[in-house]
Structure 1
Amino acid sequence: MVDRLSGISVFVQAAGAGSFARAGDQLGLTRSAVGKAIARLEDRLETRLFNRTTRGQSLTDRGQDFYERCLRIMAEVDAAEAVLDTDDGSPSGLLRVSAPVLLGRQCVAPILVALAKRHPKLELDLRFSDHFVDIVEDRIDLAVRIGPLPDRSGLLSRTLGTFDQMLCAAPSYIASRGCPLTIDDLLEHECLLYSRRGGRIEPWRFKLGDGNAAELSPVGRLRFDDLDAIANAAVDGVGIACLPRWLVRTRIESGKLLAVLGSHRALGNDVHAVRPQTPHVLSKVRFAVEELAKKMPQSLQCPNL
């Protein structure tokens, strides 16, 4: 029975990932090991589950049917684990968490690693990616997401906090170009642009000192789809950036970047914890959500800046 479930687990991961290599990365196995596990499963079932070509793998019709049934089996396994959760309610077992790369590294990981340190029976599998993750198919216990949640079908969410952004520039840029005094002055400066969703430039949104809101479509020659790259470019003195406070905190504290237009609050986004809707909530998930809800607001806001 153990071997049969092990093969099903690898199959589900490979089918959900769409690639033996990607599934291997997620499982901590080589691509070859995943391929051999799938081959053994196909031999036992006497059925071909994947079409294999030089371009990759795809499920056969029978493989797709088997995959859908296996997803239900794995859900039952999770439910069984919930029934056998630890008597004292402390977190235990493997917790799979997904989060955006930079937020995961700087805010999520330190909180959850500290939680695991306090609870030796808790294991962590932290997966950081800026690509959309299907929580159910990838068997993610908990996902941390930024911004609106367009699809909540079968999912439960809890807001962990809200982060503001801040305008910042290197001392060398301010010395050469001067410091903008108003939002409109930004149109005369070199702005570092965040490009996402098919090349669309994210506008800069502000809450003014009088309580009103304003929005600016920044202009600039340099576009990035990576916030850390924007921060590094700002440190190099090539323009003004609008970035999350949690991301630029150390750069501000070290003097590599200076705050610009501090009287106007640059608005950011809400951060949510999202999990599959299940009859039972495992203690490992409950503890993680509570710890994130307790610690994330301070990490996101950086009150000393």
Structure 2
Amino acid sequence: MADIVGSMRVFARVVETGSFTAVAKENDVTAAQISRAVTALEEQLQTALLHRTTRHLSLTEAGTRFYERAKAILADLDAATDEARNASVSPAGKVRLHCAPGLAQSTVAAALVAYQRAYPDVSVELKIEQSMPNLVEDGYDVSLISATQLPDSAYVAQSLGSAWSLMVASPGYVRQNGMPLTADDLAPHALLKLETPVSPPDEWHLESAHDTQVVTLAHAPLQVNAPDVIGTLATYTAVDDLVSGKLVRVLPQYRLKPFTVYAVYPSRRYLEAKVRTLLDHLRSTLTPALDNASERIEALSRAVEPAAKRA
């Protein structure tokens, strides 16, 4: 099909200037080319739009109606084009963001508050859910997930930083049940199964400077929110409670396999400004926050070691 929008633009300018020649000069083409474009439009519409004489152009009745409709359509199209172009330049509108629970509550929520202060014309709708949604079908702009590796997909993934998990328990549980000193000591303890994309729910893969251990959680309690257990938490989730004393670290010589925090989004082409600025903001805030959580936990462990030796 011929370019009817282009032909409409040519026709509208012919009506407004009253001359094929004037429009030809505007477009750096010949008057004959402009005339042929209008003729082609009339053939598509199967109706005459202009009365032509050697000295004068005038609209037919159908041409008058078509011109009024075409003018409105072209104005709407220009407005939509400007709006779309501005979307790639000026951050505005709504961003739909998915995030896994621990990450959302520990670091992402604060980052989003700072982002909206910086970009008040953007609103962020945050969905907190463990499993990653179908971004295109469910209408999400970005998903933030933690994973040891991502499945193959057509999505684009950017690394925002790395983290790891560690074993923790409540002080009350340790007072009542004792503190394990080796990985073998975990067997009689209540160990929490937690479905997570960074490790199998039935196994803990522990790593230390000297060895690796796989702990099987065959008899772990099923309730995720049980307080009287030993469980694993990511560094960014555990750090504040470890510093405050609400949790204690179990077997501090071990950590679980490290993983990566990813920002996943449907396409890298023509990113809207609201998505591009959000990704930039997350890189500038989440990456140092993840590093800071790990450093605080390591510093806490170094402070505890001399005290444990003295005891």
Q: TM-score if structure 1 supplies the norm length?
A: 0.62
The residue that corresponds to 2:71 in the other structure is none
Aligned residues: 214
Greater share of helix: 2
The residue that corresponds to 1:14 in the other structure is none
Q: Which residue identity does 2:215 align to in structure 1?
A: L
Pairing 1:286–2:269 present: no
The residue that corresponds to 1:214 in the other structure is 213
The residue that corresponds to 1:186 in the other structure is 186
**Alignment partner for residue 83 of structure 1, among 64, 82, 85?**
85
Please state how far the C-alpha of 1:149 moved relative to its aligned partner: 2.0
**Alignment partner for residue 296 of structure 2, among 292, 295, 304?**
304
Greater share of strand: 1
- Listed as ranges, the matches of 1:139-218 within 5 Å are 139-147=139-147, 148-153=149-154, 155-195=155-195, 201-210=201-210, 212-218=211-217
Say whether the 8 Å CA contact 1:165–1:244 is kept in structure 2.
yes
Q: Relative to 1, partners in 2 of residues 1:223 and 1:105: Cα closer, same or farther, differing over 3 Å?
A: same
Say whether the 8 Å CA contact 1:160–1:292 is kept in structure 2.
yes
Q: Relative to 1, partners in 2 of residues 1:93 and 1:217: Cα closer, same or farther, differing over 3 Å?
A: same
**Structure 1 segments (4+ residues) deviating >4 Å:** 78-82
Say whether the 8 Å CA contact 2:239–2:296 is kept in structure 1.
no
Q: Distance between the aligned counterparts of 1:219 and 1:190, measured in 2?
A: 10
Q: Deviations over 1:63-101 (max 9, x none)?
A: xxxxxxxxxxxxxxx998552236xx4532221111123
Say whether the 8 Å CA contact 2:98–2:127 is kept in structure 1.
yes
Which structure 1 residue ranges, 5 or more long, are not aligned?
A: 1-77
Q: Deviations over 1:112-148 (max 9, x none)?
A: 2211111222221212222441111122111112213
SS at match of 1:297: helix
Please state how far the C-alpha of 1:209 moved relative to its aligned partner: 1.7
SS at match of 1:136: helix
Say whether the 8 Å CA contact 1:193–1:219 is kept in structure 2.
no
SS at match of 1:91: coil
Q: Relative to 1, partners in 2 of residues 1:120 and 1:267: Cα closer, same or farther, differing over 3 Å?
A: same
Pairing 1:244–2:244 present: no
Please state how far the C-alpha of 1:181 moved relative to its aligned partner: 1.3
Give the structure with higher Rg (CA). 2
- Listed as ranges, the matches of 1:31-110 within 5 Å are 82-85=84-87, 89-110=89-110
**Alignment partner for residue 264 of structure 1, among 248, 254, 270?**
254
SS at match of 1:223: coil
Which structure 2 residue ranges, 5 or more long, are not aligned?
A: 1-79, 298-311
Query: Sequence identity, in percent?
Result: 26
Q: Distance between the aligned counterparts of 2:269 and 2:117, measured in 1?
A: 28
Say whether the 8 Å CA contact 1:79–1:279 is kept in structure 2.
no
Q: Which residue identity does 2:106 align to in structure 1?
A: Q
Q: Distance between the aligned counterparts of 2:92 and 2:121, measured in 1?
A: 5
Q: Which residue identity does 2:87 align to in structure 1?
A: D
Q: Distance between the aligned counterparts of 1:79 and 1:125, measured in 2?
A: 25
Q: Distance between the aligned counterparts of 1:82 and 1:269, measured in 2?
A: 37
Q: Relative to 1, partners in 2 of residues 1:103 and 1:180: Cα closer, same or farther, differing over 3 Å?
A: same
Aligned CA RMSD, in angstroms, stands at 2.7
